[in-house]
Amino acid sequence: MNAPIVPTTRPTTPLLDRVHVPQDLRNFSTEQLIQLADELRCETIDAVSTTGGHLGASLGVVELTVALHAVFDTPHDRLIWDVGHQTYPHKILCGRRARIRSIRQGAGLAGFTRRAESEYDPFGAGHSSTSISAGLGMAVASAMQDTPRNVVAVIGDGAISAGMAYEAMNNAGALKSRLVVVLNDNDMSIAPPVGAMSAYLSRILSSQSFLSLRDIAIKMAKKFPKGIERTARRAEEYARGLVTGGTLFEELGFYYVGPIDGHNLEHLLPVLRNVREADDHGPILLHVITQKGRGYAPAEASADKLHAVSKFNVLTGEQVKAPPGPPTCTLPLSSPSTSVAVALGSLAPFPAAGGGRPTAKAVRCPPGDPRKGLGTTRVTVPEMASTSMTSSRPAETRKRLSGVKRGGPRPQHWELEGGGGADGDGEEEEEE
């Protein structure tokens, strides 16, 4: 892909103008699909600049969205997006471009996938880690109805760390269901560098010829005693694991392919076609490496990759300050009763896989509390690494966390800063 895009006017999109539903792009050449992805990125940036919304995640899956719709026969083939906040490009390609500037507005498009909105949205959640379970249900139902179809679940590296995702993968592996899971890894902490060699290996390992030879070898191994068969099967799995990684997923019953560059359509398209044609090989996990905010300079330069934004200036990325909204769901952290529990060490809020930090507010001791002489007390929540499967906490963070013991003293990583004077008077600080 070329240098990051910084559009200055409403984008010109000759190829995107020809796409009303995904079927319209399936006759495009690879070069045309690359151009389509660039136009789709420009359209997404321009649309979100007028409405606000989830920008960084959507920009990170532009090429993946184009590739999935180019290869799979949606909506007959089921395409499920975990959470659904990254589906703005998907909505544009699936007949909703004319309404994309109504997203998250009254009577407008939903900010997530929504079944009532389009036949291209077979599952709607707005919450993480549910896509593999939903996909497995659809795959099993299709098999029971003897209706051949591909079921693809796209899940992020944070969402796949949840127990529900592993439970679903374990079930899919046991059932040997026809299910494709695309691991959208934008953290890049568990993957080796990707490039031409990785793409080549992924293409080979997902090809029909390799899978056929593998099946022959497995059938031959079954002629040997059980111990030798088990050893041969594990040797094959670990040999591929040494080359590509993914041993964990192999143990859950998935055939692992990857990692590959999720922004290179010349790598994505042939691998996805191989995966599509891999019949009767059980569930497959395709590991793609992507970058949140990809292709938009202000997003790439931003610490949070402009994950969720208000309306903004397309040229500079500067956001328009939104009017005050309703209280956030983390506000209870600052309530008097909860804050006292935090101060005493009986409660330790911890960020979920999405990273970030809980709301930190100035709080007051309730009337009659023996600690009221402290005045307004602020709970300082340190920056923490994401708790996703693909992140490794810094040594300093691990050391701080090691001091947290059940029933022990206040965790070492919470600092209490006095403020507001001895009379306990003080205003709440702005939410961080």
Q: What is the 3-state secondary structure of 141-176?
A: HHHHCCCCCCEEEEEECCHHHCHHHHHHHHHHHHHC
pLDDT at residue 222, rounded to an integer: 54
- Specify whether the CB–CB gap between 165 and 183 falls below 8 A: no
Instruction: Count the helix, strand and coil residues of the chain and give each as a percent rounded to the nearest 5.
Output: 40, 10, 45
Domains of the chain: 16-309 (3.40.50.970), 331-419 (no CATH)
pTM above 0.75, yes or no: no
Rounded Cα distance, 104 and 88, in Å: 11
The edge-to-edge listing of strands for the beta sheet with 284-289 is 78-81, 151-156, 180-185, 284-289, 255-261
Q: By three-state DSSP, how is residue 424 classified?
A: coil
pLDDT at residue 126, rounded to an integer: 81
DSSP labels for 393-419?
--HHHHHHHTT--TT-SS-TT-EEEEE
Q: How many angstroms from the chain centroid is the CA of residue 345?
A: 33
Q: Compute mean pLDDT per 10 residues along the chain, 432 residues long, and list them.
A: 57 94 97 98 96 94 98 98 96 97 94 96 91 97 94 91 91 94 73 46 54 51 54 52 60 86 95 88 90 93 85 90 71 59 59 50 45 42 41 41 40 36 34 32
pLDDT at residue 249, rounded to an integer: 84
